[in-house]
Amino acid sequence: MKISTGSEYMQSLRELNPVIYYQGERIHDVVRHPATAAHVRAAAMTYSLANDPKYKDLATATSHMTGRAIGRFTHVHQNADDLIKKAKLLRVLGQKTGTCFQRCVGFDGINAVYSVTYDMDQAKGTDYHERLKKWLTYIQDENLMVVGAMTDPKGDRSKGPAQQADPDQYLRVVERRPEGIVIRGAKLHMTGAVNSHEILLMPTTALGEDASDYAVICALPVDSPGVTMVFGRQANDSRRDQCQCLDVGKPSFGTVGGEALIAFEDVLVPWDRVFMDGETEFAGEVVYRFAAHHRANYGACKTGLMDVLIGAVSYLTLVQGTAKGSHVRDKVTEMVHLCETLYSSSLACACEGWPTASGAYMVDTMLANVCKQNVTRFHFEVARLALDLAGGFIATLPGEKDLASPEVGRLVEKYLGGVQGFPAKDRIKLGRLIEAMTGGTALVESMHGAGSPQAQRIMIFRECGLGDKVALAKKLARIPMRKDLGKK
């Protein structure tokens, strides 16, 4: 692996020259810029854990293509054990960073595209899978970070890609040249985009035959000509930009993942980096497999975050002298129960995994959708209980400059301390940490990341085998089949 440490990862980013804007100004160094530096440090943890003997087995793998040691985030799952190790690794990373470490989308994209390109080659006689393996070997050997780019702007959502007034509302191929394809469009909400090395582009929905130009999968470096990123704002980012560490809550790591809009303005992609071009019948399968992998993640990474939140609020109740209350213990117990229920769901997805024709393993898709559906509820409930136990002071805390003020600092210190001998500054740190982990940006990502709640409910209904369940009931009740009743 060329990049083997967190510091080497950071140095590799300085060697790139992507076009990134934030609040109207160009960012030239994502490693140092206040808006992006914390997110870079979170992603760097994925490299650092690979060098920790305690976590090396989780953070690394052996490439099935080369037999060489690689980073887990560039691996193609070969068995259920790989899926289980992935879940365990994501929880550890959530515990270490308290935020999104940004490599899951690319990881899941690699695995979805790997199996689907194999199926395409078998059905169509193409060579997409061999192209992908060549590119992936490069990614593995260099240990590069890949941003998976799936979500299109979508424009008028009552219309499909080919019916849009502005055809660029879905990423598309606008020209095919001897040297490659030319793409135009955008991808939104791209986690980790500004601090990745490569972009893996995928369709965002199933496509009809009239949308063949939108059926494209390809990969390109983040600093390719014609690629422009606009980094998004997050809750309390003005505190971060002003470098007020105490007010940020998590000064070392970002609030969520650091998302960006990525625009592609007539970008040339060489043919050896094109893994789908017009095969509309396979677009939906890429989305389906990617979504399942990504939704399974949330029961692991979010429980790592919940571990931190439970620890923070439990310690705060000690500081505030309320820890012995039976209602406090009951609420903490409920937080733990919800957390471990989610983790169980993520592990279940892995244990019930199955091999695709390519050999790559898929998670159980029904359980993956159930897992993510629970995240949209349980994470919010854990956050609600944390805010309940913390108290209202986290919404009205004075700022870091007030604590340092010669005029009023003594008042903040006197009246915002906890039990005798506990400094106000440390109580404020706990409050700000809880605030950061229960704020708008963090919970919005839990709700809408990997698809909004209704997307999971649609898949749960589709895959629940309702007809089989009806048959079970009829058999036990000795009810004969009636031809006049419609099938459910």
Q: What is the pLDDT of residues 408-431, one digit of tens each?
A: 999 999 999 989 989 999 999 999
- Virtual CA dihedral for 186, 192, 197, 202, nearest 10 degrees? -40
pLDDT band at 454; cut points 50, 70, 90: confident
- Known catalytic residues are 100, 104, 191, 259, 294, 298, 301, 445
Ranges for all domains in the chain classified under CATH 2.40.110.10: 6-285
Task: Determine the Cα–Cα distance for residues 298 and 458; give it in Å rounded to an integer.
Answer: 18
Looking at domain 291-471, its CATH class is mainly alpha
Whether the CB-CB separation of 236 and 248 falls below 8 Å is answered with yes
pLDDT band at 488; cut points 50, 70, 90: very low
Whether the CB-CB separation of 352 and 361 falls below 8 Å is answered with no
Q: Is the pLDDT of residue 136 over 80?
A: yes
Q: Is the pLDDT of residue 11 over 60?
A: yes
Task: Give me the mean pLDDT over the 464-484 stretch.
Answer: 86
- Virtual CA dihedral for 270, 275, 277, 279, nearest 10 degrees? 170
Q: Distances in Å between the alpha carbon of 434 and those of 91, 253, 321, 390? A: 19, 14, 17, 8
Q: Is the pLDDT of residue 440 over 80?
A: no
Instruction: Write down the pLDDT at residue 240.
Output: 73
Instruction: Write down the pLDDT at residue 236.
Output: 75
Task: Give me the mean pLDDT over the 42-65 stretch.
Answer: 96
Whether the CB-CB separation of 284 and 252 falls below 8 Å is answered with no
Q: Distances in Å between the alpha carbon of 338 and those of 90, 132, 301, 305, 377? A: 17, 39, 14, 13, 10
Answer yes or no: is 191 a known binding residue. Answer: yes
Instruction: Write down the pLDDT at residue 483.
Output: 67
For the stretch 194-249, pLDDT in tens is 999 999 999 999 999 999 999 999 999 999 999 999 999 887 777 777 766 788 88
The answer regarding whether domain 6-285 maps to CATH 2.40.110.10 reads yes
Task: Give me the mean pLDDT over the 394-413 stretch.
Answer: 93
Ranges for all domains in the chain classified under CATH 1.20.140.10: 291-471
For the stretch 309-363, pLDDT in tens is 999 999 999 999 999 999 999 999 999 999 999 999 999 999 999 999 999 999 9
For the stretch 178-188, pLDDT in tens is 999 999 999 99
Nearest residue to 143 (alpha-carbon basis) of 98, 183, 114, 103: 103
pLDDT cut 70: percent of the chain above it? 98
What are 7's two structure tokens? 């510091």
Return phi, psi of residue 355, to 5°. Answer: -85, 135
The mean of the pLDDT values for the chain is: 93
Instruction: Write down the pLDDT at residue 81.
Output: 97
Its sign, for the CA torsion 417, 422, 425, 427, is negative
Whether the CB-CB separation of 150 and 206 falls below 8 Å is answered with no
Q: Give the contacts of 236 (CB within 8 A, at least 6 positions apart).
A: 247, 248, 249, 255, 435, 436, 439
Q: Is the pLDDT of residue 253 over 90?
A: no
Instruction: Write down the pLDDT at residue 308.
Output: 96
